[in-house]
Amino acid sequence: MLHLIGELSPVVHTRDWDLVRVPVRKVDDQYIVYVADGFHRLYTDDTLPDVLKSKFAMIHANGEGFLPDSKILRLTLYTNTNPELDEVGWRASDTYYCLVVDRPTLESLKGGTQDDA
């Protein structure tokens, strides 16, 4: 299957520089979370961090339409069309999502520490 996305990495939010849009691909029970240029983390339903689980739950509850994977482009992955989900994330295609997280959460996903403050 041809994918028109290319290499993925986090991108700063369009209106809030403290938030980052993080691409995720869900294939079967695996989540591929693109946390930096050339670096991704793999999770399962059991190991996915709670902060990401809650974002997926809100996205799925919204029930917005999405494109088939064969039609997805990098620009459409990072572009939100629902203002209600602007700081949560959205489903872009059959398997691609874009989750919005704060910078400490992104650092934690990379394997760093997250402050409790």
| Rounded distance between C-alpha atoms, residue 56 and residue 108, angstroms | 18
Q: Of the candidates 72, 81, 61, which has an alpha carbon nearest to the alpha carbon of residue 23?
A: 72
Q: Please give the pLDDT value at position 75.
A: 86
- SS3 assignment, position 1: coil
Question: Which 3 state secondary structure label does DSSP give 67?
Answer: strand
Report whether 20 contacts 107 (CB < 8 A): no
pLDDT in tens, 4-55: 567 899 999 988 889 999 999 999 999 999 999 989 999 999 999 999 999 9
Domain ranges of the chain: 11-110
| pLDDT of res. 115 | 45
